[in-house]
Structure 1
Amino acid sequence: MSFFEYALIGFFVGIITTAPVGPVNIMAIQHAVHGGFRQGVFVGLGAVVADTIFAAAAIFGISAVTNFIEGQFDLIEIVGGALLIIFGIKIWNTHPHLTRNGNPREHGFLADATAAFFMAITNPGAVLAFVAIFGGLGDYRPQTGDHFGALVMVAGVTAGATTWWVLVSASVSHFKSRIDDLWLDRANHIAGFLLVVFGALIYLKLALEAAGVGLIT
């Protein structure tokens, strides 16, 4: 695969791992509602740093481990696909709540980003999601020893996550009067659906390979 394809896959992974509405998304939305675009973006950038760390740990960790478990790729994909489907269903059934009473305290952009970073980095579900996704990519992730390809994919994750926060902050600051809990539910439904589809595609890939069909890489 080309480096552009690695970057594109990483970009998509960055989007779908950032989109589920959790504490950081709520924090970013509230700051964008009350403080405008820049405050929302800076909250998101704190989470981007955590996501980049998770992505790097997952993809480089998987690359190292595959030296010892080259015959277990199918098992990794089966477990990863199951985790993604479980995460997707859980996110679909999560009902976040947006509080509009009062303004977020003015801590400054750096403090907002730091708070979001610690909220994200202490979320054990996030690293499991990255491991599940990268483990399920199979031939669509960089091969063992392709460190530059892995870096490109991690950079794609960073770009995808950053793009998400920019779009969310811009949309919320522009349409803030229309943002409500129903909007958040819909966002979670989309993110949950995409994770379930991603997990299902892993099983489809395994089924096609078992039938001798294979996929174009």
Structure 2
Amino acid sequence: MSGMSAFLSGATVGLAITMPIGPMSLLCIQRALGSGALAGFATGLGAATVLVLYTTCAILGLGPALAAAMKDSQVALSIMSAGLLLWLSARVLGRTISLAAPCTDSRGAVSSYCSAVACALFNPLTPVLLAAVLPVVAAPEPSAASTMIAGVFAASVGWWLIVSGGVAVLRARLSVTVLNLFNKASGLILGALGLLMAANAVQLRF
């Protein structure tokens, strides 16, 4: 596999996992609407970081071991994911958006990044999607593995940049009432996803 083929294969994997709407997409959009492009992009960057971590493990042949570990820890992961989603939901629902200048504070961006890493890391769907997508593309030669991982990261980061930037542009065109309605709806959906994760943990446990 050539370097370009490996990069494009990685980009395909990155987009296939990043583009579907899920908790991370919702969180990125909510933060970009509420706090601006930087907060939204930092959230997406956190998700991309975890995706690269899982991809690296899979390409290095650690996929079966990772899958076994995830299966053994599925209940604990579901509980942690549920708790994190419910916590994020409470924070979103307790916040009122204003039309002040978008947040450019680096500490806020770091906080958004770290919470996104935690959310993506404890999301049991990420490795499942990766396991479904990776076999579709050709396995890279050892020399091309890093190029494929770079493709995954570039495509994922590029997608989050487009989403956060586009939503931030939309933010400037919406009224504060509409922004707050979307904010509350996002919080409720995150809470519902958290409850579903909790219910899944109970079902797996009993």
Q: Encode CA deviations 1:95-143: one digit per residue, 9 max, x unaligned.
A: xxx9796249986111110000010011112112112211232xx221x
Cα distance in structure 2, aligned partners of 1:126 and 1:63: 13
Q: Which residue of 2 aligns with 1:44?
A: 44
1: CA distance, partners of 2:44 / 2:167: 13
Aligned to 1:172: 167
TM-score under structure 1 length normalisation: 0.59
For residues 58-92 of structure 1, give each alpha carbon's deviation from its aligned partner in whole angstroms, at most 9, with x where no partner exists: 12227999xxxxxxxxxxxxxxxxxxxxxxxxxxx
| Alpha-carbon distance in structure 2 between the residues aligned to 1:126 and 1:40 | 19
Cα distance between partner residues in 2 of 1:45 and 1:141: 25
Percent identity for Structure 1 against Structure 2: 28
* Partner residue in 2 for 1:29: 29
* Cα distance in structure 2, aligned partners of 1:45 and 1:171: 16
Question: Whose helix fraction is larger, Structure 1's or Structure 2's?
Answer: 2
Residue 162 of structure 1: which of 157, 170, 189 is its match? 157
Match of 1:151 among 128, 146, 150: 146
User: Cα gap change, 1:64/1:122 in structure 2, threshold over 3 Å: closer, same or farther?
Assistant: closer
In structure 2, stretches of 5+ residues that fail to align are 66-91, 187-206
Which residue of the partner structure matches residue 17 of structure 1? 17
Alignment of 1:137-148 (within 5 A): 137=137, 140-142=138-140, 146-148=141-143
* 2:113 match: 113
Cα distance in 2 between the residues matched to 1:141 and 1:100: 46
Match of 2:125 in 1: 125
What SS class does the counterpart of residue 175 from structure 1 fall into?
Answer: helix
Q: Report if aligned partners of 2:32, 2:168 keep a CA contact under 8 Å in 1.
A: yes
CA contact (8 A) 1:27 1:43 kept: yes
Query: Could you give the per-residue CA deviations for residues 153-210 of structure 1, whole angstroms, max 9, x where no partner exists?
Result: 11100001000100000110112339969xx9xxxxxxxxxxxxxxxxxxxxxxxxxx
Aligned to 1:205: none
| RMSD (Å) for aligned C-alpha atoms | 3.2
CA distance in 1 between counterparts of 2:63 and 2:43 reads 31
Q: Hey, what does 1:57 align to over in structure 2?
A: 57
Distance, in Å, in 2 between the alignment partners of 1:161 and 1:99 is 28
Structure 1 spans left out of the alignment, 5+ residues: 66-97, 185-217
